[in-house]
Structure 1
Amino acid sequence: MTDDHSPSPVLQQGLETLQDLLGPEWEVSVEPEPLPGPDMGWDAVLRVLARHDSRFTDLLVDVREHLTPKEVAGYLNSTAGLVRRISPNSQLVVFAPWISAKTQEELRQREIGYLDLTGNISLRVSRPAIVIHTEGDVRAPAAARSTSTKPLLTGPRAGRLVRLLADVHPPYRATELAKHAGLSLPYVSRLLDALEDQLLIGRNKKLVTSVDWQNLLRNRASHLDLMRQTTPQGMLAPNGVQAVLDRLVEHDGIIAGAKVLVTGSYAARPVAPVAVGGQLMLYVMPHSEHVRAVSKALKLIPVPEAADVQLLQAPDLSIFQRPRRYDRYRQVGLSQLVLDCLSGPGRMPAEGETVLEHMAVDEHLWRVPDLSHLPEVNLQTDQSELF
């Protein structure tokens, strides 16, 4: 809620947006008199009047600069219950500069209306009949981004923790996660706080007890762009892509002394039959000398366009952790494959969603039972345990 009774730009812009959507047959106005009693949990009351028959409804507006799914499930859910008890013909509605997709979902589940200034709007009123649902920005505009010190799901460090949370069954503590991910405890603690705010993990005090791994991977992927973050080098396979795969099988993923893993459409195909065609994408160890050595060993030719193979430099060695063997060759683990596909070009995001569906069928086939089953590795160096 706002901290004072001064006019809110968000409230004013939201009122104007709602009026424009409803049109001239409706009147939207702010009730001049506040409700009696102490702070009830909202900032203003908007009266929405149908001019043709004078029917109206009151929207109790909670104005927020930022809103998390956790706040919706907690405080706002309680406030919405209070509204239904004391004023059955009224509805709680949130106005904010921007509301994330996950937060929108939580609001809809609790029948709380919302309106953000980018065009994400959901409002359902039975009398008078009003149904509005529009979609706006899927990412926060620069002006609406939080100044919170909690880390976002960007960068290699976040990627390590996200994959660990997805790949290993809870429960576990921040200290254990920090140790296995090669990260500092303060960083892990801050990121876990942020994930809890987004309802991507559940905790009992300091113990992580549940992980919404599907939405966690989707959220992480939304911050990525595969073809920007891996310095791709397009290659032509003169003898065909199958010859490259055969050589990978022959050498068990060790080419020119460097680890190579398949990702993208070719890795999705064994678990998501919808994947067809596409370039062969291979992760190689970072640095250009590895790219040159691998391309030479696989008899690939660098080309500026029409490549059928892409060599991707791994931005972090954790990408090579927990690989899988599908078909005959080694490829990235399923969680990494989902991140790559969802953040990749063309049909790859659809392939990523299909892989997610496959993973959800039986988690026991790919999730590690607990952290004790993982070897300790030093991600600052090239360790054999990565394979």
Structure 2
Amino acid sequence: MLRILRNMADSDNKLIREGVRGLRARLPPGWQVGELPFEQALLSVDALAELRAPDGRTGVLALEARARVEPRDVAALVSRTEALRSTRTLVLLAPYLSKLTQERLREAQVGYLDLTGNVRLVVSTPGLYIEAEGAREDPERSGRPALSMRGAKARRVARALIDRKVPPGVRELATLTHVDAGYVSRVLALLDKEALITRVGHGRMESVDWPGLLRYCAQQAPLESRGEARTYLEPRGLSALVGRLVKSDERYALTGGLASEVFAPTAPVRLATVWVRDVIEAAKRLGLRPAESGANVLFIEPDDEGVFEGAIQRDGVWYVAPSQAAMDLLTSPGRGPAEGEELIRWMQENEEKWRR
């Protein structure tokens, strides 16, 4: 039984009860979560609980219940509970925590548990580590349309923010991206909520967490969800494909590993990923064979031509901008995600070479 330590709404009491029940279900055999005397309460959190190991060693969990938590809320939570975290393990309980919120909590070394099964708890004394994955999307949001980075217009706004050293204002973003200013404002409100931009004064942008924004866009809109993708075989190898693309009149831009190789080379590239205006026609003109297995070419016809924005030409070959390549790699097959993170590291160390 867990004692609630201060006046709370019934919904918060219920959330703590359900959260502790979920924690008990995750504990190894012999571990327990028990009640603490009221006089030990710290009024800066919603509840305290004792964690007891099979050998009798104990630790204290400071539980905070929130009906809804956005990534931008994490910093305030950490600041408010800083004093108690030196002696107690802070655990946030919520109905649902987004992937980005979970990442912010991990970075801040705050434990969490949501009612869909997303759990992370690290306790030094007694030693305990629990991590599990639950729902990737909020079950309560089904049926309610919500703005996200799945939309092509939203991704255009994101790319404009990522690629520029000085964050543009709403009107400038609208002009740069050919997107209505009202929609731009909604995108910025979403990114503010997700703690991916910092605003000062009357909403003016001060900074952009561009690595976080790249990962967020990739997570919300995986590569092959952004257009029509087909796989092909080029039996003469990737260099032959690139050579024919250069001589063709196709609208194309290499992405994935071939684009990353220009900036942050890693392992040899085995799959050519290419944005083309018309997949079927391009494959036909280039003489590629459709292939489901053993393919070495992935052609994608984009749902929005924003993928070509900022493309660069090297030795006659067109490549997507580094930000587009990183976004594409993070959800590409094989070693793509690792190559994407390597490219982001290069981008962080060489901002002057790609940000305008």
TM-score of the pair, normalised by structure 1: 0.78
Letter in 2 for 1:80: T
Does the CA contact (< 8 Å) of 1:114 and 1:123 recur in 2? no
Distance 1:237 1:7 in 2: 59
Is it true that 1:243 corresponds to 2:240 in the alignment? yes
Change over 3 Å in CA distance of 1:83–1:21 after alignment to 2: same
Change over 3 Å in CA distance of 1:176–1:45 after alignment to 2: same
Does the CA contact (< 8 Å) of 2:41 and 2:47 recur in 1? no
Distance 1:112 1:222 in 2: 22
Residue 244 of structure 2 aligns to a residue whose secondary structure is helix
Listed one character per residue, the Cα deviations across residues 31-81 of structure 1 (whole Å, up to 9, x for unaligned) are: 5859899xx45333323356765x65543321123212211112x124303
256, 265, 284: which is aligned to 1:273? Answer: 265
Residue 96 of structure 2 aligns to a residue whose secondary structure is coil
Match of 2:255 in 1: 263
Distance 2:319 2:7 in 1: 51
259, 265, 275: which is aligned to 1:283? Answer: 275
Structure 1 residue 332: Cα displacement: 1.0
Does the CA contact (< 8 Å) of 1:221 and 1:343 recur in 2? yes
Distance 1:108 1:366 in 2: 30
Does the CA contact (< 8 Å) of 1:2 and 1:63 recur in 2? no
65, 69, 72: which is aligned to 1:70? Answer: 72
Q: What pairs up with 1:70-89 in 2 under 5 angstroms?
A: 70-74=72-76, 76-81=77-82, 83=84, 89=87
Change over 3 Å in CA distance of 1:12–1:267 after alignment to 2: same
Match of 1:230 in 2: 227
Match of 1:207 in 2: 204
Identify unmatched segments of 5+ residues in structure 2.
Answer: 1-5
89, 92, 103: which is aligned to 2:90? Answer: 92
Match of 2:176 in 1: 180
Give the aligned length.
349
Larger Rg: 1
Point out the more displaced range, 172-181 or 270-279. Answer: 270-279
Listed one character per residue, the Cα deviations across residues 194-215 of structure 1 (whole Å, up to 9, x for unaligned) are: 2122221111132212111111
Match of 1:371 in 2: none
Change over 3 Å in CA distance of 1:21–1:174 after alignment to 2: same
6, 9, 21: which is aligned to 1:4? Answer: 9
Q: What pairs up with 1:20-59 in 2 under 5 angstroms?
A: 20-23=25-28, 25-30=30-35, 40-49=43-52, 53=56, 56-59=58-61
Match of 1:372 in 2: none
Match of 1:385 in 2: none
Match of 2:156 in 1: 160
Distance 2:314 2:297 in 1: 19
147, 153, 156: which is aligned to 1:151? Answer: 147
Change over 3 Å in CA distance of 1:109–1:240 after alignment to 2: closer
Is it true that 1:13 corresponds to 2:18 in the alignment? yes
Structure 1 residue 340: Cα displacement: 1.2
Structure 1 residue 7: Cα displacement: 6.8
Structure 1 residue 108: Cα displacement: 4.4
Does the CA contact (< 8 Å) of 2:232 and 2:288 recur in 1? yes
Distance 1:115 1:153 in 2: 26
Structure 1 residue 346: Cα displacement: 1.5
Match of 2:286 in 1: 298
Distance 1:179 1:347 in 2: 36
Does the CA contact (< 8 Å) of 2:66 and 2:94 recur in 1? yes
Structure 1 residue 156: Cα displacement: 0.8
Structure 1 residue 100: Cα displacement: 3.6
